[in-house]
Each structure stands twice: as structure tokens, then as C-alpha cells.
Structure 1
């Protein structure tokens, strides 16, 4: 990861022009990402006279994320390794904050970009343990026997045809030495590869499906950021992780799945699997973890991508205060959300003759998917973020690199900080 640090004002090269940056931190972050594209390989010093506070943090985030490249399967190309910022005011540890946040997002991108031949549910759980454990986070890898005992038949059904067994990853941060300000539970979709199951995806629609656990990556990265900063809020991240494959043990259209807590789903489409695994995790969180707020994040529907494009995430919420908080965090971090309606007149589309609901109620697809999930949150203030568009990028643009973007990690971490 790019190293960024302050240097004395006189260290800037004589021919270096002072950076002309906007006043808004979100715009500064984007400017940092664009500036990163022009950095020479090796070490560079930039004249950042007067940059401080939130603007300095944002610029560091942009610089680091703009130089991100996923390199697991190839040798990295020479690039910038060290950037000195001359003339900055870093008395508030602004650079360190930017580096911590950027490192968490880069980890989310690495997790999502890793090919599925490596990234099994077990691998994902072990990565969470290795990364979060040293920060004081308790990570538990719940196996198939535990899933059966807990009645998490949605996760078991979706992951049943794969040779890589499913898992529920439960990562818990409990602040020490201070009274925690509530208990936030973040649930992230963890489909490590999505073939569509028996309703198999066709053409090139499968090509990016190793990133279908971007929601899970986002909640784990947000937790990493919170723990690294020692934020005094109790946070639990749940990632129901499974590979949606097809074979003799596949779950089928017409199956009825009984979730944790007893609610049932009729399967009409095995490619609507994300909501099936999220349902178990949401029900478990609401019943067992006593959260003060519950937020799930998922690359859930193509309908949301069609509605909002590739830069906005969709927000559904049952609590007005929670919705306002998340919208504000999105504006602050540049990971913007657009409020979507939970229209009750579409609830009858979930009707089933054999179960409490069907899993593929049709259009409007993003709204009916959110309505499917809503009962599993119970009475807890709940929000659902559909990030099908902004979780992936088709090319490089500023601080966004081709592939997984880590969308949601900064937003959720900022939201948790604000609750402290």
C-alpha cells in the first residue's frame, strides 16, 4: 500500500506547484484519486500547503485508493510507493486516519477481487480471523454442524451443491475501557461465487460473480476500520458465506426453505440466493444479538443497478433516523445512497401457497427483494443497502480501480463513528 507522510514545507521540489484542491472533503478525496493516477514510480513530494483536518484525511484516502491494483495473479507494475506531503498541518493525526481507512477499503477490494478458486467460504473466514484478530476482534467460523443446529437452512440450501462447504462468519468488536454506545450489527452477503444454481446464469453474466460477496467484504472492512480506530461502539459483522453452485445436491425451484426462527420461503428462482442467506443472518441477529440497529449490505438485484446506475447505492429503511444517518454518512464519504420506498402495495407479490413468502416476486425487483427481507429484521431498526451497481467498476476512474470497489466500507465505518 502507498505510504503517505508529512514532510517539512521546504521539502517540496522547487518546480512543484501547490495543489489546487476544492473545499469539500468528498471532492478533495476524488481529486486525490485523480492525482494518484499521475504519480511517478517510486517516491514523490507534493506541495500541499495548508491542507489539514478532514480535507487532509480525504486526500490521503484518495491517493492511496487511486494507486490500488489487485496483483494476486500477476507481478505488480512499477508504481508510486511513497508520497510526502509538504506544508500540511497534521497535528490531529489526519494522515494516519486516512491511511487506516484506505487500508480497510483496499482489504475489501482484495477480498472481492480474489478468484473463487481460492476464495471459498472457509478461506474467507480464515482471512477475517487473520486480519481482524490482531485488532482485538473475536472472529468465529460457524461450520455446517452449527448451521444445522441453528436452523440456518437458507445458507445450507444455497451452499449445498458446492464442494466448498458454507459458513457463517461472526466477527465481534467490543470496545474496552469505555461504555459501548449501543450494539450495531452489520450483515453482508457472502456468496463467494454465484453460478445461479439450477437457474443458471448464461453468457458472460457469470464472469464477475466472484465479487458477489462484496457486501460481506464491506462489512468486514468497516469492522476493521472501527477496531483499528478503537471506536467505542459495539459492532458485530455477520457474513453468511456460500458458493451457489449446481449439481445433484442443488436446491431446486419449488423447494421450501425454513429459516432460522421458523419463517419459510418458497424457492421460485435459485438465482435469487442472496436474500435466502441474508434471511438467516438477519433473523439470527434480531433474535440472538439484541442490536440497537441492523444494516445489511448486498449486491442483491440487477434491478437496482438499472435504476441507479454504477455510482449510487439503494437504501431501504424501516427507521427514519437510521435512514438519515446513513444518507449523511454516504454524503460525507462520497459513497452516496438514494432512498428507495418500501411500498406495501407490492407485498402481495410475495404470496405463496406453500410458504410464508416466495423468493422471486418479480418487478419492481429491488423493492420486492427488500420487502422479502424486512420480516427477518423483526422490530429492530433496519436498513438494507443494495450495492449491485457501485460494488463493481468496469474501468479505472480516479480512486476507483477496475473490479471490486469496496463500496460501503467507508460509509459504514463513518456511520458507526457518528454513533459514538
Structure 2
């Protein structure tokens, strides 16, 4: 074994069964080099034992132990070992402060998420740990976490790959591949001709400047076919966003391949639901296009008719995500009887200004749904914070020539996005997640080794799991 990870509580107290192992780590502790404080990490090279390296992890005071402390601690150890070790034995802490399942899930998330590499475009490949053995964990929880984290990998790969490769057609094929892999999933993809035929006018307008065809992707997961209850999870899939004729400046376009992070979260979540065989019914919907510049580009100042019939004055072609989502939301509501609908998107830079990169902006028309998403966020540390949708904000988007305009003044920017989408929501519980800050933060958390976090997969898996348990 190349390495062994051992957790300690503050005060040099082993958080694992140390019987017969004390001699392995006594030297650095006696020397005062390690005390078990939160965030502390020490790599020790013992002269005896089967492991070449010992990673001593500080978890802080036992009574203050949280799942996030575990995630960050174990991620720190893995980040240190990547490129140096191939195999690792991971000891989990023994404590009554957290449930055993929670300990297993949080520690394993830290390990797996930090072990991710994205090296498809590198000549010299990055090295990750290839053999991971957990000691003291709950097998079912560990297996569940591996499935979820594999889906986060899947989402990160999509979000971070070249925009020339990850096109709307490509995302449609990924959805079809999920249907081929999982019997509970069925997929339908609408191309340009069908989008025009169905009069998805806003999605079609945004797509006009691009040489690549748009797609409306529907991924239906029936994990509880006897139930009539159906949920929708809708993602923005703008595979590259130049800003359109309201062109983005240099410095604001280089990460726009990740403007389909909402779509990535939907695909990753649908994959997880099927792999875990959760007894719930969810339809994933992705409105996907490039927002490019061309001779047919949609134009600032013009009015376009949505699928729902609402007319929209386009005042900013760089506020395209809400247009794509509006048609996707309207379409799924018309075609399905829904209990609740949640959309996710890298929608506004204003969400980053308001909340930074630690929290996803949440807007909703339902207090219970907001509370359930907030709880799921606290559990996964993909936290959300609710912003208001007061009636007075609607004045910002009033148009003199159409039913609504897609963008107003700079004030209340993230709320404008929510207000716009709300116009396309019927009598159904709805929530809007703006992940502009959390999809690709800088700097990254210890368990986010690249800028793309795959945010939304763990959050929504937890949310749907909680619905199943009610």
C-alpha cells in the first residue's frame, strides 16, 4: 500500500482504532509537529508497517465535526497524494457526533471528488489514485457515493470539454446513450426542424447565428411507474455563449463553454437517479444551442414570440439563457402534468455579484420547495440562498412594444432572471437555481480540482432522495 490516511481529533486523539498502530505515528506527535487541529495535514514516512506514507489528518474538535470538515480534510489528503501514490487505505473516524452513513458519504465525497483529473488535452497525463480502500465505512453508503461522484465526473467532463465537441447534437446523443444504458430512461430529441414546427420561437431565435443546430432534449426517468407524480428538472444548455450581437468583451468569453453547466447537471442527475434506481419519476429537459454571431443572428430591439405565446422584446442578446429556458419550461408544462419543476442555469453575472461563488441563488414561488432545496444544499454543501420575487420587480421588465422584455437595468440582475422565468410558469411548484457563481468558482474548494465543479448533481440527488423517503 502506497499510503494510509489516518484521522485525528484535536488534542492528538486518534479518531480511528489505533490498536497496534501507535508506533507508526508517535514520532511526529511527540515532536509536536501534529496536533489534530482542523485543516492540519502531515505526511509521515514510517520505518515499519505496510504503508510507505502516513497522512495524518486533523479534524479539529470532535464536538464540532461536520460533514464539510470531513470532505475538506480527506480531499486535502488525496490532493497531496495524487501523482505520488497509486493505492491508499482510507480510515474513517469513529464518533457519535455524526451518523455512520453521513461520515461515510462525506469522507468518500472528499476522496472521490478530489481524485478527479481532466487531462484529455494533455500530452503528459495527470495521475490519480487507482486503488482506494475504505476502512470503517458503511458499504451501502460508500457504493452510493461512488455512483454519485462518478456522475459528477461525467458532468465535469461535459462542462469542461471543448465547445466544438460538446454541441447541442452531442448532448442529445449523450441523452440517447443514457436511454440505451438504463431501461428506466427514455429519450426524445427535437432538432431544428421540429423546434421550428413546434414554434419554440425563443430557442429558435437564439440559435439563428450558429452553424450548429439547436436541440430540445427530453429525458424521461420512470423509477416509480405506478405513481402519477412527475417532477421536471430543466437545464440551460448554451454550449457556447459569445453574447450574440451584444458581444462579450475579452476576458468574459473564455469560460463560456461552461455555459451549458445547467444541462450538464441535468444529465448527471438523470444518470444518478437511474444508477441508484430511485423510486421517483423525473423528466429532464435541456434547451440547447450556441449563442453565436452570424448573418441570421437575432437582433436587439426586435420582438420574438415564445412557445407559450408570450412576446418578448430582446434588449440584450447576452441575456439568452432565460429565452432558451422559457421555451423549455413552457414545453414541458404543456406536455406533462407536473407536481414540481426546477430549472438550473448559469444565468446571470449578478448572482456572482450578490452571493459570490459560495452559494447558488434560489428563487421560487413555493416556500416548501425552497425549504427542501435549502436543506439538500446544507446537507451536500452545495448551498442555496433564496432571493425575493416581489411584484414590484416586474416593472423592470415592462416593455412598450411586447408583453415583456428580456433584460432591464443592471439593478437586481439575478432577480430579473427569476422574474422573467416566472412569467412562463403556470400553476405548479417551481424553483429557479442560478449557478453562475458556483459552477466554475475561482479559487476552487479542496475537492474541486478543476474550475468546473459539477454543481447540481449532488444537490438534486439529495433532493430527490429526500422526496423518495417521504
The TM-score range, normalised by the shorter chain, is over 0.9
2:361·2:386 contact (CA, 8 Å) conserved in 1?
Answer: yes
Instruction: Identify which of 163, 172, 186 aligns with 2:211.
Output: 163
1:252-279: CA deviation from partner (whole Å, max 9, x where unpaired): 0122111112111111110000000000
Q: Could you tell me how far 1:17 is from its partner in structure 2? A: 6.7
Matched, 1:43 2:43: no
Q: Distance in 2 between matches of 1:15 and 1:147?
A: 58
Partner deviation per Cα, 1:84-110 (whole Å, 9 max, x = no partner)? 122x1425x111011011011111111
Q: Please state how far the C-alpha of 1:221 moved relative to its aligned partner.
A: 0.9
1:139-180 CA-to-partner distances (Å, cap 9, x unmatched) read 21111121112211111111111111100111110015x634
Describe the SS at the equivalent of 2:301. Answer: coil
Q: Secondary structure at the match of 1:384?
A: strand
**CA separation of 1:399 and 1:196: change in aligned 2, threshold 3 A:** same
State the match for 1:66 in structure 2.
114
Distance in 2 (CA, whole Å) between partners of 1:309 and 1:72 is 30
Q: d(CA) in 2 for partners of 1:262 and 1:370?
A: 19
Task: From 334, 350, 364, give the equivalent of 1:317.
Answer: 364
In structure 2, relative to structure 1, the CA distance for the partners of 1:388 and 1:12 (3 Å cut) is farther
Q: Number of aligned pairs?
A: 411
Aligned to 2:73: 31
Aligned partner of 2:164 in structure 1 is 117
- What's 2:413 paired with? 365
Q: 1:232 to 1:101 in 2, by over 3 A?
A: same
State the Cα distance separating 1:346 from its structure 2 match.
Answer: 1.5
Q: Structure 1 residue 181: deviation in Å?
A: 7.3
> Aligned in 2, Cα 1:95/1:350: closer, same or farther, shift over 3 Å?
same
Contact kept, 8 Å, 2:87 with 2:131, in 1: the verdict is: yes
- Normalising by structure 1, we get a TM-score of 0.93
The aligned counterpart of 2:453 is 405
Shift, 1:81, TM fit = 1.4
State how 1:184-199 maps to structure 2 within 5 Å: 184-199=231-246
CA contact (8 A) 1:191 1:244 kept: yes
Aligned to 2:35: none
Shift of 1:401: 2.2
Question: How much has 1:232 moved relative to structure 2?
Answer: 0.8
Instruction: Classify the secondary structure of the residue corresponding to 1:377.
Output: coil
1:83-122 residue pairs with structure 2 within 5 A?
83-86=132-135, 88-91=136-139, 93-122=140-169
Cα deviation for residue 393 of structure 1 reads: 2.6
CA distance in 1, matches of 2:259, 2:55: 43
Q: Does 1:141 pair with 2:185?
A: no
Query: Aligned equivalents of 2:438 and 2:416: distance in 1?
Result: 20
Coordinate RMSD, CA, aligned: 2.1
- Is the contact made by 2:92 and 2:137 (CA closer than 8 Å) also made in structure 1? no
| Structure index of larger Rg | 2
* Cα distance change on mapping 1:387 and 1:15 into 2, 3 Å: closer
TM-score, scaled relative to structure 2: 0.83
Offset, 1:242:
0.2
Q: Deviations over 1:197-233 (max 9, x none)?
A: 0111011110000000001111111111111111111
1:29 CA displacement: 2.1
Per the alignment, residue 257 of structure 2 pairs with 210
Query: For residue 8 of structure 2, what is the aligned residue in structure 1?
Result: none
Unaligned runs of 5+ in 1: 1-7
Alpha-carbon distance between aligned partners in 2 of 1:227 and 1:180, rounded to the nearest angstrom: 16
Taking a change above 3 Å as real, the CA distance of residues 132 and 330 of structure 1, as seen in their structure-2 partners, is farther
- What whole-Å deviation, never above 9, does each CA across 1:263-319 have from its counterpart, x for those lacking one? 111111100000000000111122221110010101000111011001100000100
Q: Secondary structure at the match of 1:170?
A: strand
Partner Cα distance (1:49, 1:265) in 2: 56
Could you say which residue in structure 2 is the equivalent of 1:355?
A: 402
The Cα of 1:122 is off from its aligned counterpart by 0.3
Alignment of 1:252-267 (within 5 A): 252-267=299-314
Q: Do the aligned partners of 2:246 and 2:317 also contact (CA within 8 Å) in 1?
A: yes
Q: Unmatched 5+ residue regions in structure 2?
A: 1-16, 21-48
CA positional deviation for 1:324: 0.3
* Contact 2:233 2:341 (C-alpha < 8 Å) held by counterparts: yes
Look up the SS of the partner of 1:171 in the other structure: strand
Higher normalized contact order (CA 8 Å, seq sep 6+, divided by chain length): 1
* Preserved CA contact (<8 Å) 1:132 1:224: no
SS in 2 for 1:204: coil
